[in-house]
Amino acid sequence: MHKITVVIADDHPIVLFGVRELIKSDPRFEVVGEAGSSTELINVLHDKQPQILITDYNMPESSQYGDGLRLITYLTRNFPALRVLVLTMVSNSLILTRLYNLGVAGVIDKRTVNEELLRALEALSQNRIYKLAPANRNSVIDNGYQIDERMASLSTREVEILRLFVAGMSLRDIAINQNRSPKTISTQKIAAMRKLDVRSDQELISYCLEANLFQ
């Protein structure tokens, strides 16, 4: 029987082990490679050319290809035949929608991977999209945020940093782009987040997407 080849990418060895063991329980699939960073992942994909990739949404920030939306964009553009299954703790509906719009074949909540992984692989093996049940939307704008007012409080450099960050660039890459130190970029990003009253990268991306900023 011809097995469906799979590569796994996650920077936590225990997650790699758990996913690998789950896949082993289904004889139709075979793990042919593993990666702990996005740079390593790209090398493995070129070498093994698998049919399915199971990858964490959050990978080490220092990796050459970044993580999150930036990494997924790179994967779907450069490996169009690859069926990408994303593991994530992100529950924001806008980010999940963006992942599917980028062309991923499925998304799994890492907290339910034991229950969902084989179901997702079954869907992918039949060329179907695997979708999470829709979550309740938690908007960062509906809670009284004044978009124009808050955006007006940002400096020109802070706006540019946010634009590049939301586009998928890492802080290191933004620093190179702006010819400044990563520490300076990080400080200005934090200051911008404080002005927008968002507390995490997920909220920041959600805010910008919902407000149609940088579109």
Ramachandran region of residue 68, left (φ > 0), alpha (ψ -120 to 50) or beta? left
pTM of the entire predicted model: 0.66
Q: Which three-class secondary structure state does DSSP give residue 35?
A: strand
Bridge partners of 209, per DSSP, are none
Give the pLDDT confidence of 171-195 residue by residue, as tens digits.
888 999 889 999 999 999 999 998 8
Q: How is residue 31 annotated by DSSP?
A: E
Give the pLDDT confidence of 117-141 residue by residue, as tens digits.
999 999 999 999 998 655 444 455 5
For each of the domains in the chain, give its residue range(s) and CATH number, in order of start: 4-125 (3.40.50.2300), 147-210 (1.10.10.10)
178 burial via Cβ count (<10 Å: 0-12, 13-18, 19+): middle
| Nearest alpha carbon to residue 6 among 43, 62, 45 | 45
Residue 211 has pLDDT above 50, yes or no: yes
Q: Are 51 and 43 in contact (CB under 8 A)?
A: no
CA distance 124 to 5: 12
Please state the separation of Cα 187 from the chain's center in Å. Answer: 23
- Of the spans 23-32, 166-175, 188-197, which averages the highest pLDDT? 23-32
CA distance 18 to 86: 15
